[in-house]
């Protein structure tokens, strides 16, 4: 009964926040970037909640269940990416656009905008789909009589409604509530769980020695195969840039990254720790469920219910973020740019919400096509990271990049990642060939074509203000 109560309270809070923010939506800027009024504490939690979702709680849990603390190679990619992001957050806010393709068209050309939009829609609907799948798992664990597929339908419904209602404002303030709640619960849960399973010595005795080694039983290239996709996704992540564009000021954007770094280090390490401790005592039928199973079986009922409710809320929050981003692209980068440039604010809001519904249904259909959330996560990260991230980083760090080089990089990075996955090549992670070809084409084609005019790169290299 306590699990049902907690989930009902979570849903009630999410609905309340969404309704509160929905009545404030008046314009496209309100919907897409929250009126550019988000202060840094809100940004910290919305960045943290967007990043730590089913990818960390299910894919990371699956990884930790199989590989022990070597699973930290996966979030480590994000930590490395955050160091780089701290250098450009303020500059991104100063540019004050709506989407990553805005950046790419301003720096390169229209083709870069369109191709990056395609890559974002592919990657982000996959990410949304495994949030939906993870949410279905959670509902099945709370309500065993509820089939996983039915749970997926219910989660998809909640995600679509929450996202379509209030856009970025809803996403950001939901994340503030969820992020704060989950952070406290996870910090409290680790020592309680460790005590309940018999202490650290019992955990070490119950698991293979490789679970406590830096690489475990992984080879270095396999470990980097976890690190690189997550690093590439983070440093080019459109959802992150949209939040920078939503910041109240450049200073708020920079402070948000600092808070994000601290939060990510703590939360992702504790999530892996919960999965490792849980795997010493509980063996779920599917390794991806190790964290929710551990919450239910290894913690006192109230704390376990709160953790499970927090996982449920995080999944909805992350799905909101990754569903909202491609919808923003289709509206801003395709509909308004090419189909109906003179659309009224009211029409744009209506079409935005319809696009959210269509993409949500598309993500739900994809959720039925894979079993391993870890595999789906790495595929989505690689699509985005190899196709979009090199061109985005070149915006801020290489003045010599040309439009032809960026277009070649985006097109080839997308094609190789998707082709590698379709061909089911498993002897080498797709991130290696896709990233290599993307980077080489970016550099070589740029050097073989005339350099860009100074006005193309100058706005992105100005010194950051206060």
Average pLDDT over residues 208-227: 90
Average pLDDT over residues 127-152: 86
Least confident range from 30-44, 198-212, 343-357, 421-435: namely 30-44
395 domain residue, yes or no: no
Structure tokens at 42: 């809100």
Average pLDDT over residues 318-342: 83
Nearest Cα to 465, choosing from 42, 47, 96, 33?
Answer: 96
435 domain residue, yes or no: no
Least confident range from 144-148, 161-165, 167-171, 190-194: namely 167-171
CATH for 41: 1.20.1730.10
Average pLDDT over residues 8-21: 70
Q: What is the pLDDT of residue 349?
A: 75
64 domain residue, yes or no: yes
Convert the pLDDT of each residue in 361-419 to its tens digit.
999 988 877 767 767 777 888 888 899 999 988 988 899 999 999 999 999 999 999 99
229 domain residue, yes or no: yes
439 domain residue, yes or no: no
Contacts of residue 281, Cβ cutoff 8 Å, sequence gap at least 6: 197, 206, 297, 298
Q: What is the pLDDT of residue 91?
A: 63
449 domain residue, yes or no: no
Structure tokens at 305: 């219910």
Nearest Cα to 131, choosing from 377, 385, 382?
Answer: 377
Greater pLDDT, 175 or 236? 236
pLDDT band at 203 (very low <50, low <70, confident <90, very high): very high
pLDDT at 25 over 60: no
Average pLDDT over residues 313-339: 81
Q: What is the pLDDT of residue 26?
A: 56
Long-range CB contact pairs, 212-218, < 8 A, 24+: 212/68, 212/69, 213/68, 213/69, 213/70, 214/69, 214/70, 215/70, 216/67, 216/68, 216/69, 216/70, 217/67, 217/70, 218/67, 218/70, 218/73
Any idea which residue has 């973020």 for tokens?
321
What residues make up the domain containing 136? 2-372
List Cα–Cα distances, 412 to 405, 419, 434, 436, in angstroms.
11, 10, 7, 10
Average pLDDT over residues 28-56: 67
Q: What is the pLDDT of residue 90?
A: 63
Q: What is the pLDDT of residue 465?
A: 45
Convert the pLDDT of each residue in 59-69 to its tens digit.
888 899 999 99
Number of domains the chain contains: 1
217 domain residue, yes or no: yes
Structure tokens at 220: 């270095």
320 domain residue, yes or no: yes
Is 132:364 a contact under the CB 8 Å cutoff? yes
Contacts of residue 277, Cβ cutoff 8 Å, sequence gap at least 6: 190, 193, 194, 197, 203, 294, 298
Q: What is the pLDDT of residue 191?
A: 94
pLDDT band at 41 (very low <50, low <70, confident <90, very high): confident
């Amino acid at each position: 009964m306590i699990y049902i109560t907690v989930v009902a309270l979570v849903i009630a809070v999410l609905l309340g926040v969404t309704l509160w923010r929905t009545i404030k939506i008046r314009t496209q800027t309100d919907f897409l970037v929250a009126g550019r009024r988000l202060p840094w504490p809100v940004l910290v939690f919305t960045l943290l909640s967007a990043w730590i979702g089913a990818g960390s709680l299910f894919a990371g849990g699956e990884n930790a269940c199989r590989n022990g603390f070597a699973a930290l190679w996966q979030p480590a990619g994000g930590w490395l990416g955050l160091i780089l992001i701290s250098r450009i957050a303020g500059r991104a806010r100063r540019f004050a656009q709506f989407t990553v393709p805005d950046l790419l068209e301003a720096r390169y050309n229209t083709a870069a905008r369109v191709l990056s939009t395609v890559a974002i829609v592919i990657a982000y609907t996959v990410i949304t789909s495994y949030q939906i799948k993870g949410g279905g798992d959670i509902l099945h664990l709370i309500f065993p009589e509820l089939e996983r597929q039915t749970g997926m339908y219910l989660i998809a419904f909640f995600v679509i409604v929450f996202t379509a209602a209030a856009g970025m404002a809803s996403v950001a303030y939901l994340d503030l509530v969820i992020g704060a709640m989950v952070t406290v619960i996870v910090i409290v849960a680790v020592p309680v769980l460790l005590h309940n399973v018999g202490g650290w010595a019992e955990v070490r005795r119950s698991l293979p020695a490789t679970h406590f080694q830096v690489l475990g039983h992984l080879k270095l290239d396999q470990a980097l195969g976890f690190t690189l996709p997550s690093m590439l996704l983070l440093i080019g992540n459109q959802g992150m840039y949209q939040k920078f564009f939503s910041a109240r000021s450049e200073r708020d954007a920079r402070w948000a990254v600092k808070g994000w770094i601290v939060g990510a280090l703590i939360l992702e390490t504790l999530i892996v720790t919960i999965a490792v401790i849980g795997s010493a005592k509980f063996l779920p039928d599917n390794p991806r469920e190790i964290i929710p199973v551990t919450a239910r079986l290894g913690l006192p009922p109230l704390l376990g219910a709160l953790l499970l409710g927090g996982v449920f809320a995080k999944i909805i929050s992350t799905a909101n973020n990754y569903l909202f981003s491609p919808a923003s692209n289709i509206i801003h980068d395709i509909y308004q740019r090419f189909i109906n440039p003179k659309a009224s604010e009211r029409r744009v809001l209506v079409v935005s919400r319809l696009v959210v519904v269509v993409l949500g249904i598309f993500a739900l259909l994809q959720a039925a096509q894979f079993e391993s959330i870890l595999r789906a996560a790495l595929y989505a990260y690689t699509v985005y990271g190899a196709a979009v991230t090199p061109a985005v980083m070149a915006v801020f760090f290489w003045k010599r990049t040309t439009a032809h080089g960026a277009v070649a990089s985006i097109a080839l990075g997308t094609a190789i990642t998707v082709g590698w996955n379709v061909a089911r090549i498993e002897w080498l992670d797709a991130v290696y060939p896709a990233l290599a070809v993307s980077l080489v084409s970016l550099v070589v084609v740029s050097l073989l074509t005339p350099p860009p005019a100074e006005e193309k790169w100058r706005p992105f290299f100005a010194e950051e203000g206060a």
